[in-house]
C-alpha cells in the first residue's frame, strides 16, 4: 500500500511539472516566454528598478530658516539700561503709592527730575538701537560674480537638502565619457527596432537574422524555446504589435561593459496555433495582451553595437 502511494505521488508530481512547463511557454509565448531570462551582470539577482516617472517625485523639504537675530553688539548695555529703567520705574511707582517709606531716595513721588532722567535714558536707548540697525543694514551680502539682483543667504543645512544627481543620469554620463556620440533618443529608437526584429524572428522560429543583436546566452535560451515549439508542432503568432513607451530605468558600467535596462510597455495579439491544422491552442486572436518587460542591453565600453542580454518581467 505504501509503495502504491509513493508511486501515485511521483506520477502526479511529474504531471504537474510537465503541465507547469508547458503553460509557462504557452500562456504568453512571445519572445522570452513571459519569464525572466538572461544575465544583467552583477545585477542579475536583483529586480530591475522602476522608472522614476512612475512614482510621484519626492518633494525636498528645506530646513526651516533660523529666527531673525538682532545685532550682537551693544546687547549687554541695552539690557543693563532696560534693567535700570525698569528698576527706577518700579521704585518710583512703589514710592508714589506710599510703599517706599518717608525717607531716602528721591522723595515721596515722581518729580520733574525723575521725568527728565527717564526721558534722557529713553532717548539714549533709541539712538543706540537706531544706529545699530543702520550699521547692520549697510553690511553687504556676498554675491557671485555672475549673479544679479539681491542675494539672500541660504539657511543653514539647506544645501544638504538639495536633490543629488539621478542614478540613471549618472550612469548615462559615465557611458558618454567613452562614447560622446551616445544619444538617449536614438538609443530608445534602437530598442524598439530590436524589439520588433526579435519578435518577428521568434514568430518565424528562426533566429539567424537576429543573432548579432543578442548575446550568446540569450540566443541559446530563445533557441531552446523555439526548439520546443517545433517539437510540439506549434507556432506562436504575434500580430498588431504596438510599443506604447520605452524608458531607460538604469544604466551602469562594470567589467569593461556598458549596461542599460529599459522598460518596454507594449500590446499585441499573442496566440499559439497547431503547425499542421492551424487550430487555436492558447491565447486569443481578438483580445490584445498588454505587458511591461525590462529589456537589458550590453556592449563593450565605447561606441560599439548593443546586444540584448536579458529580459525580466515586471
Three state DSSP letters for 130-167: HHHHHHHHCCCCCCCCCCCCCCCCCCCCCHHHCCCCCH
Q: 296 pLDDT exceeds 70?
A: yes
Give domain status of residue 151, yes or no: no
Give domain status of residue 204, yes or no: yes
The CATH number of residue 297's host domain is 3.10.450.240
Q: What are residue 243's DSSP bridge partners?
A: 266
Over residues 80-84, mean pLDDT? 52
- Break the chain down into helix, strand, coil percent, rounded to 5: 45, 20, 35
Cα separation, 274 vs 201, whole angstroms:
18
Q: Grid coordinates in use for 117?
A: 532722567
* pLDDT band (50, 70, 90) for residue 171: very high
**Looking at residue 131, what is its pLDDT?**
67
Give domain status of residue 144, yes or no: no
Low-confidence winner among 100-104, 183-187, 216-220, 282-286 (lowest mean pLDDT): 100-104
Give domain status of residue 39, yes or no: no
Supply φ then ψ for residue 273, to 5 degrees.
Answer: -120, 165
List b or e across 247-282, with b for residues whose CB sees 16 or more CB atoms inside 10 angstroms: bbbbbbbeeeebbbbbbbebebbbbbbeeeeeeeeb
Q: What is the span of the domain harbouring residue 285?
A: 159-314
Give domain status of residue 114, yes or no: no
Contact call for residues 207 and 201 (beta carbons, < 8 A): yes
Supply φ then ψ for residue 58, to 5 degrees.
Answer: -75, 130
Give domain status of residue 278, yes or no: yes
Give domain status of residue 102, yes or no: no
When divided into structural domains, the chain yields a total of 1
Give domain status of residue 128, yes or no: no
Cα separation, 249 vs 243, whole angstroms:
17
Contact call for residues 267 and 288 (beta carbons, < 8 A): yes
Amino acid at each position: 500500500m505504501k509503495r502504491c502511494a509513493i508511486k501515485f505521488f511521483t506520477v502526479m508530481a511529474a504531471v504537474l511539472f510537465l503541465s507547469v512547463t508547458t503553460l509557462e511557454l504557452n500562456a504568453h509565448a512571445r519572445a522570452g516566454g513571459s519569464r525572466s531570462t538572461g544575465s544583467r551582470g552583477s545585477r542579475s539577482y536583483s529586480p530591475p528598478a522602476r522608472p522614476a516617472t512612475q512614482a510621484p517625485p519626492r518633494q525636498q523639504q528645506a530646513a526651516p530658516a533660523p529666527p531673525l537675530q538682532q545685532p550682537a553688539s551693544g546687547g549687554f548695555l541695552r539690557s543693563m539700561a532696560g534693567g535700570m529703567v525698569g528698576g527706577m520705574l518700579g521704585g518710583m511707582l512703589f514710592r508714589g503709592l506710599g510703599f517706599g517709606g518717608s525717607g531716602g531716595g528721591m522723595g515721596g513721588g515722581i518729580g520733574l527730575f525723575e521725568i527728565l532722567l527717564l526721558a534722557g535714558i529713553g532717548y539714549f536707548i533709541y539712538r543706540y538701537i537706531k544706529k545699530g540697525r543702520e550699521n547692520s543694514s549697510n553690511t553687504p551680502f556676498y554675491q557671485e560674480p555672475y549673479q544679479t539682483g539681491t542675494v539672500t543667504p541660504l539657511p543653514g543645512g539647506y544645501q544638504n537638502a538639495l536633490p543629488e544627481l539621478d542614478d540613471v543620469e549618472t550612469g548615462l554620463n559615465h557611458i558618454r565619457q567613452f562614447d560622446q556620440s551616445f544619444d538617449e533618443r536614438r538609443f530608445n529608437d534602437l530598442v524598439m527596432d530590436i524589439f520588433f526584429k526579435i519578435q518577428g524572428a521568434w514568430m518565424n522560429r528562426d533566429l539567424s537574422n537576429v543573432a548579432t543583436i543578442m548575446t550568446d546566452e540569450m540566443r541559446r535560451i530563445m533557441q531552446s524555446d523555439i526548439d520546443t515549439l517545433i517539437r510540439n508542432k506549434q507556432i506562436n503568432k504575434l500580430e498588431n504589435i504596438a510599443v506604447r513607451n520605452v524608458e531607460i530605468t538604469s544604466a551602469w558600467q562594470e567589467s569593461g561593459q556598458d549596461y542599460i535596462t529599459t522598460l518596454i510597455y507594449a500590446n499585441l495579439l499573442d496566440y499559439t496555433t497547431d503547425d499542421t491544422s492551424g487550430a487555436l491552442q492558447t491565447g486569443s486572436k481578438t483580445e490584445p495582451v498588454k505587458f511591461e518587460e525590462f529589456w537589458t542591453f550590453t556592449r563593450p565600453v565605447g561606441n560599439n553595437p548593443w546586444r540584448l542580454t536579458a529580459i525580466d518581467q515586471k
